[in-house]
Structure 1
């Protein structure tokens, strides 16, 4: 896990690439390298996970000297791919395997890669750049094309460090407040800065930019749409999951585990502990000392079965203000509230204990239809755990609300449930969670791996019939039946608990003054014209006195205060 950056065009100021690398140095504290000529500057911040030796530092130059690679992520099947390649390898890294794969197979190499990645390869002779992002967009890639130059990086702040103005993209912000959208896969909250969508590649040559889709999920799942018996599905999925975990244990540093009290992470830990090299893997969990929300009873029940060492990380309300500032700096865009702060503390603690790789259970709900709204026919709100719409469009000014356009997502399938799952995988739930998770993990210079997002697993589960996913009102039926022989019924059949922190209560009580001060900052800023401030203050008072069913809108306003403090209108 690392950071990459580049400037393609007439390079007259070499300090700019150094400023970009410095802005995201937390992504790779072990080594920072550069490669430059008159047309391009590349930078790489390295977090050493596989082949810790200096010869695997980047930018990596091919044996022929014609190809220069900067790479962020992991190619989990690099050992298998290495056997297929005719290349004189000088390292034991997955980085060199990726470079050799591109040299031998060109862009077709993408379909052979099992991993999380964003990378860029410069062809010295052709003076062309090829960049790509993994299937689900686990690893980030941001870019802007300005003044006949292409600038790219792993974090938005690095592009701002280049000198691109920090100007809000009003459409994305308006959609966030009005509809809870975090932008389409190619958008950011900042004007003139785009992101390469998951499953897409980019080519840049002669000042011309082309972006193409390379991963066609809708086609890939067809190979699994033959009718399997229920028992065949259980067996095949179990084998695919074990393979995914086995690949994600490939590391030359210690591996740990993020554990909640839910089915997904408990199931994952069950199979993690069946790996040969998983002895005494540490599990990390957070809690807030509020029994209404904490999942510690289920976590401790799970640990009593697996006997893993458990590290419990406490988040207190008086930490929220300072932690919010830190996390907001690393996020660059709005993030998911106090649970994200708690999650950030887990990575801080893991780093202190020299655990540089953590596994977690992201991605199971989307492939096996685990969210409550999958049971409903209407295209309902996708915010879990609230009874009515958490969005407060009425507090927005008419002028600002005019920028909002309700997002429309593709519906490639005839079945409504599949379209909801597809939306969540590629447009809403997963892109949002992956962005939050990448930035909180990298803020502490740690790597996060998500075994459930192995594309083989996702494709296979997605393709299965509805009654394998939801039966008699029980969701994720296959997974529950797989783990039932290992786990107690209280874990196997536990309902989904969407709220894991007392965010609603803290914002209205312990943190009331903090919130009020932030709302005052908005009122006294150049962004006050985005709102009808009287209505906003009235809604805040209503939250304090009557209605705190949802705190999402309160956190939206805080996000504005956190993120836009030093921005231009």
Structure 2
């Protein structure tokens, strides 16, 4: 897991790459390197050493001929199998997945992407033909941001690295859609003008100033090509077999591995399978809590742990810690993030780093593939959960001129099944992309790597392709998954409903954190975003909230987010 950066084109200045790498040093504190092709390109890399800790695996990595040069962020989990397939077609000099990736590209070209099981974003510079090839993994676990100017192409793992060499104003349309509809942008958009992201499952070819972007992973086509026989027992066995294989691959590391656990069925299944795979070693589990029994999942976690005997690191978030962490995380996120739960989750990675655990696994991705979100079972298809009957957004507080930038996002519907179209939206446009961004930034903020075994593309494709009756039955969501898990976890956990809220954010923002809220909204009034809002209306909403209308805190966190990010933009300037 690392940070990548690059500048292509004329007039490259030496200090620019140094600035970019310094800005994202947290992503890879173990080593830093630069490759230069004078007058054409410079690639940079910050390394977090996970596989093959030897310095010979440092990056940018060059092939034996010296023609190809790679800057790579992520992990190729099936690198050993791919290395065996390549065999004598390439002379390997390291034991790294980095070299396997470069060799695969040299031998198979862009078709190598279909052979990769992993999370990745990478760029390969061809110093002979003076062209770049870059790609991002199927679901966009690892980020790839870029700016294309008239004479330069700049890319990096984080927006802030690009902004050090190319200042960027806020993208008003994306911000307006966030306030009005809860959108975090379309797959190619960011909250900054002129800075875009490579969508998940796409690749870039760049030569002589010309940029070409193409999709290499066509998920709808993949699903339509699958024709499973929907025999319940066969599907269970097949899914479980792939899941065990996914977990085995994601334990490949030359450093200590731990995992995150909540009280839900996803992470409980993960815990059981981890222990089954490592029978002689008790892997450390991490879980956050706040001390509020209405929201904490710790009782379910401790019930599981009492049966497995894993060491458990319980990480508590206190309300008085929120202001400092919020500003810190806003700096790493750069775009709106998910409130107090994201802060609590971030503390897990801080704790893991302090204990020397560099890799953590978690259960991200199950809800999207198994239709686990509550609205899959209702007619409310909101992007925000846990708001009850209260409106998630308060767009009327926006000034008319700014609100006119908003345009309700429309998402493709490539399937005839309504449920699958919702799942597709959440996988590639809303829920998962947002969560993956949150998770990448907070794990990397503490120089730790996060792996998601449930996002193995084979698992996602299999579960997604199943009929509705195997996902939701009798009002029970994740139906077949619950059948699978019965042999691994206690009945009370396998039957437990999904809990949308995991922290007392609503209560804290109205009570313990009222001063923080007041200060944030006052800061927003004097920020670079000030002209977007009618601040009297904002304060009116705050008074109603403090008077007891606390069924929904999302809109408050939107304004706090804006204040935090505006502060970072001001400091950068």
Where on the TM-score scale, by shorter chain, does this alignment land: which range?
over 0.9
Q: Which residue of 1 aligns with 2:123?
A: 120
The question of 1:5 aligning with 2:5 is answered yes
Deviations 1:469-517 (A, max 9, x none): 1111111111111111221111000111111111011111111011111
Q: CA RMSD in A?
A: 1.2
Q: How does 1:383-462 map to 2 (within 5 A)?
A: 383-388=384-389, 389-462=391-464
Gaps of 5+ in 1: none
User: Contact conserved, 2:315 with 2:351, CA < 8 A, in 1?
Assistant: yes
Q: State the shift of 1:12 in Å.
A: 3.9
User: Contact conserved, 1:11 with 1:41, CA < 8 A, in 2?
Assistant: no
Worse-matched range after superposition: 422-431 or 222-231: 222-231
CA distance in 2, matches of 1:250, 1:439: 22
CA distance in 2, matches of 1:470, 1:525: 47
Q: 2:153 aligns with which of 146, 150, 154?
A: 150
User: Contact conserved, 2:527 with 2:566, CA < 8 A, in 1?
Assistant: no
Q: Which residue of 2 aligns with 1:281?
A: 283
The normalised TM-score by structure 1 is 0.98
CA distance in 2, matches of 1:306, 1:463: 33
**For 1:423, what is the secondary structure of its paired residue?**
helix
CA distance in 1, matches of 2:419, 2:258: 34
CA distance in 1, matches of 2:405, 2:266: 38
User: Contact conserved, 1:344 with 1:440, CA < 8 A, in 2?
Assistant: yes
Deviations 1:198-221 (A, max 9, x none): 000011101001111110011112
Q: How does 1:528-547 map to 2 (within 5 A)?
A: 528-547=530-549
Q: How does 1:512-527 map to 2 (within 5 A)?
A: 512-527=514-529
User: Contact conserved, 1:187 with 1:193, CA < 8 A, in 2?
Assistant: yes
User: Contact conserved, 1:28 with 1:445, CA < 8 A, in 2?
Assistant: yes
The question of 1:553 aligning with 2:563 is answered no
CA distance in 2, matches of 1:554, 1:269: 35
User: Contact conserved, 2:331 with 2:568, CA < 8 A, in 1?
Assistant: no
Q: Which residue of 2 aligns with 1:84?
A: 85
Q: Which residue of 2 aligns with 1:472?
A: 474
Q: State the shift of 1:104 in Å.
A: 0.4
CA distance in 2, matches of 1:390, 1:203: 40
Q: Which residue of 1 aligns with 2:501?
A: 499
Q: How does 1:305-384 map to 2 (within 5 A)?
A: 305-376=307-378, 378=379, 380-384=381-385
Deviations 1:142-168 (A, max 9, x none): 000114100000001100112x22410
Gaps of 5+ in 2: none
Q: State the shift of 1:379 in Å.
A: 5.4
Q: How does 1:17-28 map to 2 (within 5 A)?
A: 17-28=17-28
Q: Which residue of 2 aligns with 1:291?
A: 293
Worse-matched range after superposition: 127-136 or 472-481: 472-481
**For 1:273, what is the secondary structure of its paired residue?**
helix
CA distance in 2, matches of 1:416, 1:278: 45
CA distance in 1, matches of 2:462, 2:52: 32
The question of 1:49 aligning with 2:50 is answered yes
Paired residue total: 567
CA distance in 1, matches of 2:256, 2:51: 11
Q: 1:567 aligns with which of 561, 566, 569?
A: 569
CA distance in 2, matches of 1:455, 1:265: 18
Q: Which residue of 2 aligns with 1:73?
A: 74
**For 2:276, what is the secondary structure of its paired residue?**
coil
**For 1:129, what is the secondary structure of its paired residue?**
strand
Task: Mark the CA change 1:503 to 1:45 in structure 2 (over 3 Å): closer, same or farther.
Answer: same
Q: State the shift of 1:84 in Å.
A: 1.4
Task: Mark the CA change 1:460 to 1:278 in structure 2 (over 3 Å): closer, same or farther.
Answer: farther
User: Contact conserved, 1:272 with 1:278, CA < 8 A, in 2?
Assistant: no
CA distance in 2, matches of 1:12, 1:478: 55
Task: Mark the CA change 1:545 to 1:137 in structure 2 (over 3 Å): closer, same or farther.
Answer: same
The normalised TM-score by structure 2 is 0.98
CA distance in 1, matches of 2:380, 2:229: 28
**For 1:425, what is the secondary structure of its paired residue?**
helix
